[in-house]
A and B are shown apart, each in its own frame.
Chain A
Amino acid sequence: MIDLQDPIAIRVRGIVNRFGSQTVHDGVDLDVRNGEILGVVGGSGTGKSVLLRSIIGLKQPEAGEVTVFGESMIGKEEDEAQDIRRRWGVLFQGGALFSTLTVAENIQVPLREYYPDLDQTLLDEIAAYKVVMAGLPPEAGPKYPSELSGGMKKRAGLARALALDPMLLFLDEPTAGLDPIGADAFDRLTKSLQQTLGLTVFLITHDLDTLYAICDRVAVLADHQVIACGTIPELLATGHPWIEEYFNGPRGRAATATVDRNRQLGA
């Protein structure tokens, strides 16, 4: 039974993932609380995207348990998973827009798939306000993905991820490849949508600014496991060398300084 009020939206227990002889995950445990933005960080190759794929069912882990809103996701039949699938939206790294469809049609794909009875006028209206909601200019509707810039592709991908009014949003490196202004704008958009729509967000990122600016908690993947999960001060208190280096390296310090400065300006 799907329980949307479950205080733990995603529960990951003991996930094991291997590619051939290479172990990516060895007993990953993670809780994503309802209504929070959880940032997932880790060095390259620590399996951040693999973890995402395991949760949304694109990859079956070798062992372990994943539940979303109290519903187990492992070994689900395709049609059983449908009910849970329409409660989440996924933004892939490159946007993953369908290249033969326009932006508006891309947004309508999930709507048509799950609610074939919706009439065209309503579909168009929904697509229209989602386009604006994702921060795209109104003339982006009839454009094809190849005509969009990297930032606009991400926004269009976000609009499609939000098409079904999901409870859960998965973002895979949403600000990678964006300029600082675009990245900042995307962060704000994520935060404001999360607040107004009451979303739970699972966010993979390398962007320290994003972590400081919008994440409620951060999970750190290293040594095939989640070595720590909590607010940034809590993570720093663990004293783990990788975490120290990550947040206290030159880039980490710069991001902290920016956040502090912004706080002072805001105060």
Chain B
Amino acid sequence: MVRVSAARTPDETRTVLDAGDIARALTRVAHEIVERTKGADDIVLLGIPTRGVFLADRIAECIHQIEGREIPVGSLDVTLYRDDLRRAPARALLPTSIPTGGIDDKVVVLVDDVLYSGRTIRAALDALSDIGRPRMVQLAVLVDRGHRELPIRPDYVGKNIPTAKTEKVLVHLVEFDGDDAVRLSGQPLEES
């Protein structure tokens, strides 16, 4: 049997989700959010910059089409709460904007592009507790690539993609990168 992926060179990339796959995954996630929160009555979507914010906007638009209501969307930059700041030069801060209703007693759904170690989400949970006290916090991600380093799990997953730690998951979104695609690059699973 031919192992296609084994023939790749390390810097080769392969597309795992195209624009249609991403749109369908986000629509499904939106439906799941509506179902699990029983109508998305008091939810607030908070995207984690950069790409999580665009994903949150798209999910909010889907929920708007399903339920016919505007869903509050904001962004939450977690840079100041990261535990790995001292491993790299200081990063520029990205915008944080909390919708006018605040997050107290709301169901906050954090939205990010890729779930990996879980450390970004830990930082986001810390940041949330400094902003207010949500009734519940849930997590939606476009891609779950595994390799968690903390006891954190997603509530809504666009696509589970098993990866090797040596691989990179590249998410491109129209709003920021000009096209919609999720690609894998680097050494594939079999060779790790």
Determine if chain A interacts with chain B.
Answer: no
Residues of B within 8 A of A (CB): none
